[in-house]
Structure 1
Amino acid sequence: MGFHTFDASRADKLERAGRRYRFLSAEELLWALSLSPEDTVADLGSGTGFFTDDVAPHADEVYAVDVQEEMHEHYREKGVPENVELVTSDVSDLPFDDEGVDAAFSTMTYHEFASDEALAEIRRVLAPAGRLVIVDWAATGPGNDGPPVDERYSADEATDALRDAGFTIEHEAVRPETFLLIATLE
Structure 2
Amino acid sequence: MGFHTFPVERADDLDDVSRYASLSVDELVFALDPDPEATVADLGSGVGFYTDDVAPFVGRLHAVDVQPAMHEVYRERGVPANVELVTAGVDDLPFADDEIDTAFSTMTYHEFHSEEALAEVARVLRPDGRLVLADWTATGEGARGPPVDERFSTTDVVGHLESHGLTVERADDRPETFLITARA
TM-score range, shorter chain: over 0.9
Shift of 1:116: 1.1
TM-score when normalising by structure 2:
0.98
Q: Which residue identity lines up with residue 118 of structure 1 in the other structure?
A: A
- Given that 2:2 and 2:114 are in contact with CA atoms closer than 8 Å, whether structure 1 keeps it comes out as no
Q: Distance in 2 between matches of 1:145 and 1:124?
A: 32
Q: Distance in 2 between matches of 1:151 and 1:28?
A: 24
1:1-186 alignment runs, 5 A limit: 2-17=2-17, 19-185=18-184
Measured against aligned partners, the alpha-carbon deviations of 1:49-84 in whole angstroms (never above 9, x if no partner) come to: 000001100000000000001110110011000000
TM-score when normalising by structure 1:
0.97
Measured against aligned partners, the alpha-carbon deviations of 1:140-175 in whole angstroms (never above 9, x if no partner) come to: 100000000001100011000000010111011111
Q: Distance in 1 between matches of 2:12 and 2:54?
A: 20
Which consecutive residues of structure 2, in runs of 5 or more, have no partner in the other structure?
Answer: none
Secondary structure at 2:72's aligned position in 1? helix
Q: Which residue identity lines up with residue 94 of structure 2 in the other structure?
A: P
Write out the 4+ residue segments of structure 1 that deviate beyond 4 Å after TM superposition: none
Measured against aligned partners, the alpha-carbon deviations of 1:12-66 in whole angstroms (never above 9, x if no partner) come to: 000011x110100011100001011000000000000000001100000000000
Shift of 1:2: 4.1
Q: Distance in 2 between matches of 1:74 and 1:2?
A: 22
**How many aligned residue pairs are there?**
184
Q: Which residue identity lines up with residue 86 of structure 2 in the other structure?
A: V
- Given that 2:134 and 2:177 are in contact with CA atoms closer than 8 Å, whether structure 1 keeps it comes out as yes
- Percent identity of the aligned residues? 61
Secondary structure at 1:31's aligned position in 2? helix
- Given that 1:2 and 1:152 are in contact with CA atoms closer than 8 Å, whether structure 2 keeps it comes out as no
